[in-house]
Amino acid sequence: MTDPHPPKNIFRHAREEAKVANQPTSSPQTEDQAYRLAFQDMDFLLREDLRPVRFQLELMKPEVLMNEANIASTFVFYGSARIPEPEKAEALIAAAATDSQRKIAERLKAKAKYYDEARRLARMASRVQPDPDGRRQFVVCSGGGPSIMEAANRGACDEGQESIGLNIVLPHEQLPNAYVTPHLSFQFHYFSLRKMHFLIRARAVAIFPGGFGTFDEGFELLTLIQTRKIKPVPIVFFGREFWERVVNFEALVEEGVISADDLKLFRFVETAEEAWDYVCEHYEPGSALAAK
């Protein structure tokens, strides 16, 4: 016996098995779809009754890769895919063909400042050092698309740090923005599993002005904390004027459908500094995180 240590695994690697199975053979039996290895048979994997398996795979793949990347916690950024970078806001107005389009473009331009705030907040989060065990903390995580999502990944890139992008298959293809770290760029089919991965490691969440998707993600998070399905994390809503215009939070209290204490689950902020101070207050009084 040349090696005194027992092998970790006595089974051949799946790649080897697949290679053997794919050796050229031709007979009515081997040519039939039924003969394919199950994990190589896409027609089989895409069957309706295999949906639970696809759920499991979509849950496991990002989990395995993020564990391998030593990511312990994330700072999640939600927000619109339509708010322009400040330098591109004027072009949006110039492209407007009607008065209605111009008004919308002007409103989007007014919110362009949040691109810069998201970028600055991401830079702050990306300066947090790994813990004593080498696990990375407050890694920036976005939906991987343009606008606010791009700003978040860009801020991490400014600091020379990696960041996560959780993209989703859409009818109109949304490619990952150029600032997402390639080996942390994931694509999802199921919104539910994507939202789960947003929150598995989330230790702080910034919610910028946005539409249906932002509402869906943000209010599900509030619901999970309200119902004690997850522990409270610091949540900041950027842009009080926007949020109070589109959601009458006080009316929800007055109507009795939420309690006054539910409004304490989040804080309105306008700047990256306000947001970061709130996160530091939540985790480490005395702004130890800010000193990182």
What was the pLDDT predicted at 175? 86
Cα gap 114→147, rounded to integer Å: 9
Range name among 10-19, 67-76, 220-229 with the lowest pLDDT average: 10-19
Cα gap 17→38, rounded to integer Å: 12
- Give domain status of residue 130, yes or no: yes
Range name among 63-77, 85-99, 155-169, 185-199 with the lowest pLDDT average: 85-99
- Give domain status of residue 105, yes or no: no
Q: What is the pLDDT of residues 189-240, one digit of tens each?
A: 999 999 999 999 999 999 999 999 999 999 999 999 999 999 999 999 999 9
- Give domain status of residue 216, yes or no: yes
Cα gap 249→263, rounded to integer Å: 8
Q: Does pLDDT of 29 surpass 90?
A: no
What was the pLDDT predicted at 171? 81
What was the pLDDT predicted at 153? 98
Q: Does pLDDT of 23 surpass 90?
A: no
Give the total number of structural domains in the chain. Answer: 1
- Give domain status of residue 22, yes or no: no
Could you tell me which residue, 174 or 274, shows the higher pLDDT? Answer: 274
| pTM for the full predicted model | 0.89
Q: What is the CATH number of the domain that holds 244?
A: 3.40.50.450
What mean pLDDT, rounded, does the chain reach? 92
% the chain with pLDDT above 90: 80
Q: Are 23 and 37 in contact (CB under 8 A)?
A: no
Cα gap 270→225, rounded to integer Å: 23
pLDDT band per the 50, 70, 90 thresholds, residue 173 = low
- Give domain status of residue 141, yes or no: yes
Domain that holds residue 53: 48-82+115-283
Cα gap 220→44, rounded to integer Å: 33
